[in-house]
Structure 1
């Protein structure tokens, strides 16, 4: 997971130790995709303590060798299925304004789920001490069951 995050060149990279702890402590709200014997991607998330019906997606990453196959959306779908039994009906994430790939991926998830996707400003550059760019909050709700899938959805 750490290597994929580093190789992405776009994610805020945490320490390798943080990813190991994440897998231990947030296993129920995270997904690791394996293809063959390789880690192909991951989603890290957690249930918001103040809003237990909301899963917050921290990071989504797909290894370069496995991109373009819909793996990111498939992992998000798996996460939504995993947390549904806990009464989760809202997904939140933050995306920087220039990250069009992530915006498209979460828009695809909202369409597949028949849910509304909303966006609002959450953090501005001045909120960060390290020059981080702004982050917009994206909310997908309610997370309905997938009505149907097509071959295109699972390329």
Structure 2
């Protein structure tokens, strides 16, 4: 249990770029993180293999306890966060924010001036994470309906709001967490 290994509000998981060998473990982590949308194991394998520079896994004792998938949006100076997954056993230690800070501090994301993601209105955990992240880095958070329930999801999925957070110009951010 990761929480048991973290003391005095300090937790030092190993953060690293994923590789193809992580695909199945990432898929299992996402399945354990309801209500996240599950992708195919193959999709997670491709993310870990082809987009490793813009994704991160967090490990403790060889177990993947956190995952963020993301990519630079083609033609924009924006980094898109697709999914954030934190093991139920690792929640409450700030791991989501630690992983976000690691990602935006990477050279591969250096040209991003904005972080973007989509969140449904009822996903309180994601809203809390991204609002806290924006506050900590001094970024402005805005949102607007983007992928709409009826227009884009044929009524089968709630509207996804596009959340945009301004990113500070190149500075080391790890000390913020």
The TM-score, its normalising length taken from structure 1, stands at 0.90
Residue segments in structure 2 that go unaligned for 5+ positions in a row: 1-25
Conservation of the 8 A alpha-carbon contact between 1:113 and 1:147: no
Residue segments in structure 1 that go unaligned for 5+ positions in a row: none
Residue 48 of structure 1: aligned partner: 73
Is 1:68 matched with 2:114?
no
Matched residue count: 149
In 1, the alpha carbon distance for the partners of 2:40 and 2:81 equals 18
Residue 154 of structure 2: aligned partner: 129
Conservation of the 8 A alpha-carbon contact between 2:98 and 2:174: no
Name which of 99, 115, 131 aligns with 1:107.
131
Is 1:142 matched with 2:167?
yes
Conservation of the 8 A alpha-carbon contact between 1:2 and 1:19: yes
The TM-score, its normalising length taken from structure 2, stands at 0.79
Name which of 104, 110, 121 aligns with 1:80.
104
Q: Once superposed, what is the RMSD of the aligned Cα atoms?
A: 1.7
Q: Which protein has the bigger strand share?
A: 1
When residues 142 and 87 of structure 1 are mapped into structure 2, their CA distance, relative to the original with a 3 A threshold, is: same
